[in-house]
Structure 1
Amino acid sequence: MGREFSHIARRCERAVVTAYRELRDGGRGDLQAFGACTTLYRIHHPEASMTEARRLVAEWIDHHVVRGASSPTDGCDCA
């Protein structure tokens, strides 16, 4: 899995991916890291519903961490 993700344009997306990786590297379980990242996303986007936050965080983790893809994601509307 590649760790290069400077190509991620959205700060919230980059923050979520970084936090997830660091939490997992630090020994946190997947669900605990996912929950923390969902909270982090909602700090960046308090207007987002919990469902929306979970969907985006799951999409970003799958895209950047699980698949190691470097292509852009649909993500949220911020830049």
Structure 2
Amino acid sequence: MSVETGRIVRNCERAVVTAYQELREIGTGDVSAFHACTTLYRIHHPEASLNEARRLVSEWIDHHIIRRDKGPTQGCECN
């Protein structure tokens, strides 16, 4: 079952969560989907370090997909 991403305010966060879900739904492995989403985040934020991108992507996946938390997340300062 997919997570409703329409309530996610940040464009980059919504893009990451949507991409991760769609990749997993077509059978992409967890690690490959994570790496793809880290790359996607860095396209939105080229100033971000690889470690920062990995941290945020993992927090967002855990928050929205694993725990299915509907509240806001910590993260980047963009909209």
TM tier, shorter chain?
over 0.9
Residue of structure 2 in register with 1:74 after alignment? 74
TM-score for both structures, normalised by structure 1: 0.96
Relative to the length of structure 2, the TM-score reads: 0.96
More RCO (CA 8 Å, sep 6+): 1
Structure 2 residues not aligned, in runs of 5+: none
Counterpart CA distance in 2 for 1:22 and 1:2 is: 9
Letter in 1 for 2:27: G
CA contact (8 A) 2:2 2:21 kept: no
| 1:65 Cα deviation after fit | 0.4
**Number of aligned residue pairs:** 79
Which residues of structure 1 form unaligned runs of 5+? none
Runs of 4+ in 1 over 4 A off after TM superposition: none
Identity %: 67
- C-alpha RMSD over aligned residues: 1.0
